[in-house]
Amino acid sequence: MSQLIDNIDALTLTSTIALMLATIALYQFFAYIQNRSQLIWLNPMLLSIVAIIPLLLFFELPFKAYSHSTQFLSNLLEPAVVALGFPLYQHLNSIKHQWKALGLILVLGVVLVIIISFTLTMIFITIPQIAVSLSLKSITTPIGIALSQQLNGDNSITAFAIILAGVFGGLLGPSWLNFIKVKSAKAQGLAIGAASHALGTATISKISYEHGAYGSLALIMCALITSLVSPLLISTLSIWLL
């Protein structure tokens, strides 16, 4: 019996290592393609997601099992987000002189995003649970899910919306901002960080340290502001629109 348990543990360990290595190899492969092509829409995060989903279906591997096996990689997101604070530290003196204006801009941005997302969802879908979930799409996943639970949203929809906001903000955000003549590194960093959280900030950090600094600032501040204002704001909107 003990030998059987040891064999099962060994198999579990082997499959865990295999899945983590396969995930890393897949991501690095797509990162190599993007580096060679220099095409921003060939985002390795997006392409990895697109590739992993059909592979899980083909091998009939439950997502829960895959997620459990690759949990270590997910845990690395926390120190990765902390690392985004380095460019913020480098531009701290510049940010200190503008903190009032930056704070006001980010508060207005958070409030407008929640109001617009919640209102449009209620107009076109009329399901409060989905409206709550989509209004929390522009903050990091752990905070978004925690707020979604608190406000009776749907965690799966919240997580999916956050991923989409991060991926597409990182992919299309810089090009769109350049198209509408927003060239400032500060403005681009704030816009992408506020709308697309860690994924978007990680993408624009490749452009310059200044992009990364203001993206990190927006990421942190928007998470804090959303945590403070969303319960009261969403409750008020629910009363008005229901």
99 & 217 share domain: yes
Rounded (to 5) percent helix, strand, coil in the chain: 85, 0, 15
Residue 225 confidence (pLDDT) above 70? yes
Instruction: Tell me: do 15 and 135 sit in the same domain.
Output: no
- pLDDT reported for residue 112: 93
pTM score of the predicted model: 0.77
Best CA proximity match to 70, nearest among 56, 54, 84, 50: 56
Q: Tens of pLDDT along 48-101?
A: 888 998 998 888 888 888 888 888 887 777 777 677 677 777 778 888 888 889
> What's the pLDDT score for residue 134?
92
- Please indicate, yes or no, whether residues 14 and 55 belong to a single structural domain of this protein: yes
Looking at the structure, do residues 130 and 14 belong to the same domain, yes or no? Answer: no
- In sequence order, what DSSP letters do the residues of 172-202 get, joined into one string? HHHHHHHHTT---HHHHHHHHHHHHHHHHHH
Q: How high is the mean pLDDT of the chain?
A: 84
192 residue type, one letter: I
For 136, phi and psi rounded to 5 degrees? -110, 20
Same domain membership, residue 123 and residue 65: no
**Tens of pLDDT along 156-189?**
888 888 888 888 888 888 889 989 999 898 999 9
Mean pLDDT: which of 57-61, 185-189, 194-198, 237-241 is highest? 185-189
Residues 133 and 216 in one domain: yes
Contact 113, 138 (CB under 8 A): yes
Q: Same domain for 64 and 104?
A: no
Q: What is the CA radius of gyration of the chain?
A: 20
* Domain end marker among 29, 51, 75: 75
Min mean pLDDT across 23-32, 82-91, 197-206, 213-222 is at 82-91
User: Can you give the pLDDT at residue 3?
Assistant: 40
Task: Assign 122 to helix, strand or coil.
Answer: helix
Which of residues 58, 75, 92 is at a domain's end? 75
What was the pLDDT predicted at 5? 36
Which band of pLDDT confidence, cut at 50, 70 and 90, is reported for residue 118?
A: very high
**How far, in whole angstroms, is CA 93 from its chain's centroid?**
27
Residues 22 and 109 in one domain: no
Task: Decide which of 42, 57, 75 is a domain's last residue.
Answer: 75
The total number of structural domains in the chain stands at 2
Host domain of residue 162: 83-241
Return the number of other C-beta atoms located less than 10 Å from residue 27's C-beta: 17
pLDDT grade, residue 228 (50/70/90)? very high
HSE-up of 116 (CA within 13 Å, CB side)?
A: 8
Q: What does the alpha-carbon distance between residue 210 and residue 92 come to, in Å, rounded to a whole number?
A: 11
Scanning 76-127, the segments in alpha helix (DSSP H) are 77-83, 85-90, 92-96, 99-124
pLDDT tens per residue, range 134-163: 999 888 887 888 898 889 888 888 888 888
Residue 201 has pLDDT above 90, yes or no: no
Task: Give the CA count within 13 Å in the CB-facing half-sphere of 118.
Answer: 26
189 and 225 share a domain? yes
Question: Do 143 and 224 share a domain, yes or no?
Answer: yes
**Residue 122 phi, psi (nearest 5):** -70, -35
Same domain, 23 and 88: no
**Residue of 101, 114, 175, 166 whose CA lies nearest to 140:** 166
DSSP label of 3:
H
Q: Decide if 41 contacts 171 (C-beta within 8 A).
A: yes
Half-sphere exposure of 169 (CA within 13 A, CB side): 27
Specify whether 134 is located in the same domain as 175.
yes
